[in-house]
Chain A
Amino acid sequence: MIQIIFNGFVTGIVITLPALAITLLFGVLKFPNFAVGAMLTLAAYIVFTLNVLFELNLFISTIIAAIFFGFFLIVIDQITFAKLRVSGSNSITLMVCSLGLGFVLENIARLIYGNNAKSFAIELARPFFFLDIRMNREQMITIIVSTLAMVFMYVLLKHMSIGRAMRAVSDNTSLSLVRGIDSPLIIRWTWFISGVLLTIGGVLIGMDRAIEPPMGSSYLIAIFAAAILGGLGSPLGAFVGSLVIGIVSELSTLVIPPNYRIGIPLAVIALILIFRPQGIFGKPNIKK
Chain B
Amino acid sequence: MLSFIVLMSLVICFSAILALALNFQWGLGGMINFGLAGLYALGAYACAIFILKLNMGFLSSTLLAMLIVSLVCALISIVTLRVSEEDYFAIVTLGVGEMLRLVVLNEDWLTGGALGLSGIPRPFSSIIPSDIYIYFFLAAYVFVLFFCIFLINILARSAFGRTMRAIREDDVVAATLGKNLLWARARIFAIGGLLIGLAGSMHAFYYQYIDPTQFSNIVVAYAIMAVIAGGKGSNFGVVIGSILIMLLLEGSRFLKEIIPGLGSDQLSAVRIIIIGVGLILVLIYKPNGFMKEYRLSVQ
Contacts and interface: CB of A to CB of B under 8 A. Distances in A.
Does B bind A? Answer: yes
29 contacts: A84-B284, A89-B287, A91-B85, A92-B30, A96-B279, A100-B279, A100-B283, A103-B217, A103-B272, A104-B273, A108-B269, A110-B265, A110-B269, A114-B266, A225-B95, A259-B102, A259-B105, A259-B106, A260-B99, A262-B99, A266-B96, A266-B98, A270-B92, A273-B79, A273-B81, A273-B83, A273-B88, A274-B82, A288-B172
A34 interface: yes
Contact of A262 (B26, B98, B287): B98
Contacts of A80: 280, 284
B277 interface: yes
Interface residues of A, number: 48
Nearest to B31: A92
Contacts of B221: 99-100, 103
B88 A104 contact: no
A169 to B, nearest CB: 18
A220 B269 CA distance: 20
Contact of B87 (A31, A84, A104): A31
A221 B88 contact: no
Contact of A32 (B82, B83, B87, B273): B87
Nearest to A115: B265
Interface of B: 26, 30, 32, 34, 78-88, 90-92, 94-96, 98-99, 102-103, 105-106, 172, 217-218, 220-221, 224, 228, 265-266, 269-270, 272-273, 275-277, 279-280, 283-284, 287
A99 B287 CA distance: 16
Q: 10 shortest A-B CB distances, which residue pairs?
A: A100-B279, A103-B276, A104-B276, A266-B95, A111-B269, A107-B269, A277-B83, A110-B269, A100-B276, A107-B272
Contacts of A221: 91, 94-95, 98
Contacts of B80: 273
A259 B92 CA distance: 19
Given A104-B272, A111-B270, 12 more contacts: A31-B87, A80-B280, A83-B284, A96-B228, A100-B276, A100-B280, A103-B273, A107-B269, A260-B102, A273-B88, A274-B82, A287-B84
Interface in A105-131: 107-108, 110-111, 114-115
Interface string A31-68: 11010000000000000000000000000000000000
A97 interface: yes
Interface of A: 26, 31-32, 34, 80, 83-84, 87, 89, 91-93, 95-97, 99-104, 107-108, 110-111, 114-115, 220-221, 224-225, 228, 232, 257, 259-260, 262-263, 265-266, 269-270, 273-274, 277, 285, 287-288
A93 B287 contact: yes
A228 B273 contact: no
Nearest to A31: B87
Contacts of A111: 266, 269-270, 273
A92 B283 contact: no
Contacts of B95: 221, 224-225, 262, 265-266, 269
Contacts of B272: 103-104, 107
Contacts of A83: 284
A107 B287 contact: no
Contacts of B284: 80, 83-84, 87, 97
Contacts of A115: 265
Contacts of B287: 87, 89, 93
Contacts of A34: 34, 90, 94
Nearest to A270: B79
Nearest to A38: B276
A87 B275 CA distance: 22
Nearest to B91: A224
B223 to A, nearest CB: 11
A249 to B, nearest CB: 13
A274 B125 CA distance: 48
Contacts of A288: 172
A141 to B, nearest CB: 29
A146 to B, nearest CB: 23
Given A110-B265, A269-B95, A274-B82, A101 B276 contact: yes
A103 B78 CA distance: 29
A265 to B, nearest CB: 7
Nearest to A273: B79
B40 to A, nearest CB: 16
Given A95-B32, A95-B87, A221-B98, A103 B266 contact: no
Contacts of A95: 32, 86-87, 90
A103 B273 CA distance: 7
B283 A97 contact: yes
A31 B276 CA distance: 19
Contacts of A225: 95
